[in-house]
Amino acid sequence: MLYHPPPPPLVLPAAEVRDVWAANLADEFAYLGALLPHFPVVHVDTEFPGTVHDSATPRHLRGPREVYALVKRNVDALKPLQIGVALSGAAGRCPVAWQFNLRGFDPRVDPHAPASVALLRAQGMNLAAMREFGADPAAFAAGFFHSGLGLAGRYTWAAFSGAYDFAYLVKVLSGGMPLPETVEEFMALVRALFGPAVLDVKRLARVCGDKGIRGGLDQVAAALGVERAAGRAHCAGSDSLLTCDVLLAMVDRFFRDKNVLAYSGAIVGLV
């Protein structure tokens, strides 16, 4: 039997976030798919127009079923704006991340949280351009599966405080269908779409060191000494890239002698 050595490491450009629109969707998914064999850990972030439903129960008292019911109400009612994807592997982080700008949201008619949309605009999100030039969510879903990302079980997936990230991905990939009724059904669907290796980096932060690391993505990154490689906060491509770098730093410092995949499926709030 002939031995085929693995391909040599890729020489890639400096860290960048590539904006993806309808016009370059197919080309960028093809590029992403070509890199997946080298970088099989997929880090995702989504941006959406805030939340319009809340619960009277204090956050620290909400159980998984109540948390999921709230996620479902909001995700079913709202439209996603951006999906960010960053990749990593044995060679480290791929210095390219993708920011998929989606079409469909119109703040004049669609439900949203005005303060959240104002924040996203202040961070550079151009909603008018997204309405005109953004990728159709159905086209994103088709590109996702065609690129190889839909090969459940082949990749490790990661997000930071990922309940909404995976919920919006499920919504887009299922053609906008309502989310499952129960958290158990939702987690089963997550496993069916993404495989068993699904990590929540916020959950991992809680077991780093003796006391864990608390806070949001930027706070955890600062505690680890990780700087944002490209882009701005609250932009999906940049946040997926930062999530990737944070996870790599955690694995290097705190999980050298532990299997990080032992925490698979532990999405914050849903378990």
Residue 193 lies in a domain: yes
Range of the structural domain that residue 89 is part of: 16-263
pLDDT-wise least confident of 135-139, 150-154, 198-202: 150-154
Residue 9 lies in a domain: no
pLDDT at position 260: 94
Give me the mean pLDDT over the 5-32 stretch. 78
Residue 10 lies in a domain: no
Among residues 145, 142, 141, 156, the alpha carbon closest in space to that of 39 is found at 156
Q: How confident is the model at residue 8 (pLDDT cuts 50, 70, 90)?
A: very low
- pLDDT tens for each residue of 74-105: 999 999 999 999 999 998 999 999 999 999 99
- pLDDT tens for each residue of 166-184: 999 999 999 999 999 999 9
pTM: 0.93
Q: How many domains does the chain have?
A: 1
Contact call for residues 16 and 133 (beta carbons, < 8 A): no
Residue 130 lies in a domain: yes
> Residue 186, class by beta-carbon neighbours within 10 Å (0-12 exposed, 13-18 middle, 19+ buried)?
buried
Residue 1 lies in a domain: no
Residue 165 lies in a domain: yes
Residue 125 lies in a domain: yes
pLDDT at position 152: 87
d(CA 233, CA 240): 10
Residue 182 lies in a domain: yes
Is the predicted pLDDT of residue 203 greater than 90, yes or no? yes
Q: What CATH number is given to the structural domain containing 178?
A: 3.30.420.10
- pLDDT tens for each residue of 242-257: 999 999 999 999 998 8
d(CA 137, CA 109): 18
Q: Which residues of 210-241 are buried (b: 16+ CB within 10 A; e: fewer)?
A: eeebeeebbebbebbebebbbbeebbbbbbbb
Q: How confident is the model at residue 9 (pLDDT cuts 50, 70, 90)?
A: very low
